[in-house]
Amino acid sequence: MANYIHPDASLGENVTFGYNCIVEEGARIGSNVTIGHYVIIYEDSVIGDGCIVHDNVVIGKKPMRAARSILKAQSDYPPTIIGQRCTIGTNAVIYKDAKLDDEVFVADLATIREKVTIGKQTIIGRNVAIENETTVGAYCKIETNAYITAFSTIEDYVFVAPGVVTSNDNYIGRTEKRFNAFKGCTIKRGGRIAANATLLPGVIVESEAVVGAGSVARKTLKSGMVYVGNPVKELRPVDPEQLLKD
């Protein structure tokens, strides 16, 4: 039941571990950090002061590449960086080259891939998957079972409800044309996507636009408007009291 802490890892003051944890070479853990049981922290990962890392978390996982993957092979990745006072839930996996700002909350079973950045105080819900080369802004809420496809951009104060799906491949895995046409989704500041909605590749949800539950969006959605249906149609303006206050 012993822990393994590499002698070249750095620990701040008042760091506590559960059982069977591994901290690899070059990892840096700040002060007042609580780490649960069976946690793996890979080489050179950085965890800021005051973080709570729950059981069975993996931080700094190196990406895998299938034989048929369209992603280019890469031998070296920058380390994972987790800011101060973050919470990482049980069985979450955070890959190398992911960066979490201060006070990010990652719930149980979430996956955050490589080349992902997440802004301050954003909440990543249970079993959410955020794929590679995606940017998530500050003060966002991405709720349970949402899927954020690769190459997406989510700006500040965005709300993504449970079961939302985004996509980036109009060719659905067929023909060589798709290799040059991958495009994720963009949700601009204050955009809101309701439960079980689907955003097709390249969709732009402009600032303060709302996509209704179960809707399918396949084009740019104008700022401050509510859209519903499959395919979505413009319904009405967002109620003024629902808009963000500057």
Nearest of 167, 235, 246, 243 to residue 202 by alpha carbon: 167
CA angle at residue 139 from 136 to 143, to 5 degrees? 70
Return the percentage of the chain with pLDDT > 90, whole number: 87
pLDDT surpassing 90 at residue 245: no
Q: Has residue 97 got a pLDDT over 70? A: yes
Q: pLDDT confidence of 159, banded at 50, 70, 90?
A: very high
Residue type for 99, please? K
Interval 29-81: pLDDT, tens: 999 999 999 999 999 999 999 999 999 999 999 998 877 776 677 778 999 99
Strand, coil or helix: what is 177?
Answer: helix
Query: What is the greatest pairwise CA distance in the chain?
Result: 61
Angle at 144 between CA 194 and CA 71, to 5 degrees: 95
Bridge-based pairing of strands 111-112 and 40-41 is unpaired
pLDDT band at 171 (very low <50, low <70, confident <90, very high): confident
Which residue's entry shows tokens 């740019």? 220
CA nearest 109: which of 94, 122, 124, 92?
92
What CA–CA distance (Å, rounded) separates 24 from 49? 18
How high is the pLDDT of residue 234? 97
Torsion of Cα atoms, 89 then 93 then 98 then 101, to 10°? 0
Query: Tell me, what's the pLDDT at 1?
Result: 64
The answer to whether residue 167 scores a pLDDT higher than 90 is: yes
Q: What is the pLDDT of residues 182-227, one digit of tens each?
A: 899 999 999 999 999 999 999 999 999 999 999 999 999 999 999 9
Closest Cα partner for 44 from 67, 61, 21?
61
Q: Which of 214, 216, 213, 148 is nearest to 187 (CA)?
A: 148
Measured distance CA(18)–CA(34) in Å, rounded = 9
> 142 pLDDT exceeds 90?
yes
Helix (H, G, I), strand (E, B) or coil at 179: helix
Q: Find, among 23, 93, 24, 82, the residue nearest to 57 by Cα.
A: 93
- Amino acid 36: pLDDT: 98
Q: How confident is the model at residue 170 (pLDDT cuts 50, 70, 90)?
A: confident
Look up tokens 């891939």; give the residue.
Answer: 113
Q: Of 111, 74, 105, 106, which Cα lies nearest the Cα of 93?
A: 111
b vs e for 5-43, b when ≥16 Cβ sit within 10 Å of the residue's Cβ? beeebebeeebebbeebbbbebbbbbebbebbbbbbbbb
Band (5; pLDDT cuts 50, 70, 90): very high
pLDDT number for residue 90: 98
The whole-chain average pLDDT of the chain stands at 95
- Domains of the chain (ranges; CATH) run 4-63+73-242 (2.160.10.10)
Query: What mean pLDDT is predicted for residues 74-93?
Result: 95
pLDDT at residue 10, as a whole number: 98
pLDDT number for residue 109: 98
pLDDT at 27 over 90: yes
